[in-house]
């Protein structure tokens, strides 16, 4: 069973910072792309940032210059540093990853979602 578990959400004031973490566990051969999404109540889930296995990153326009995504391949962990937070950043943030499961290649290729962590930015 492959799982992703997020942590680091909380309540901050405008201009503050948070660091989100996501750890993968289970029988994993390799983790390819890892991503952070977010979803506000009544709104569509949107991609925030992405990082591939080589460390190349992509960001949504609304977080460029403020958020930084990083990963540790050995630990199966991805994190996102969020600075200069705004009220419109308030949402549940979800970790997402493309994972090859099993002890040998080829094996099962899965897209896995975490349960989400809530970020609230007050005015």
- Output the pLDDT for position 23: 97
How would you write the pLDDT of the chain (123 residues) with one tens digit per residue? Answer: 899 999 999 999 999 999 999 999 999 999 999 999 999 999 999 999 999 999 999 999 999 999 999 999 999 999 999 999 999 999 999 999 999 998 887 788 999 999 999 999 999
In order of 13, 61, 98, the CA distances from 22 in angstroms are: 23, 22, 13
- Output the pLDDT for position 107: 80
- Output the pLDDT for position 1: 81
- Output the pLDDT for position 106: 75
Whether the Cβ atoms of residue 61 and residue 48 lie closer than 8 Å to each other: no
């Amino acid at each position: 069973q492959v799982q992703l578990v997020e942590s680091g959400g909380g309540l901050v004031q405008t201009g503050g910072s948070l660091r989100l973490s996501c750890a993968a566990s289970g029988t994993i051969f390799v983790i390819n792309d890892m991503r952070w999404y977010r979803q506000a109540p009544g709104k569509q889930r949107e991609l925030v940032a992405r990082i591939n296995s080589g460390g190349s990153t992509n960001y949504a326009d609304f977080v460029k210059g403020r958020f930084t995504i990083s990963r540790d391949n050995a630990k199966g962990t991805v994190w996102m540093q969020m600075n200069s937070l705004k009220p419109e950043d308030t949402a549940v943030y979800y970790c997402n990853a493309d994972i090859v499961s099993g002890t040998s290649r080829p094996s099962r290729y899965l897209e896995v979602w975490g349960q989400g962590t809530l970020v609230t930015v007050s005015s």
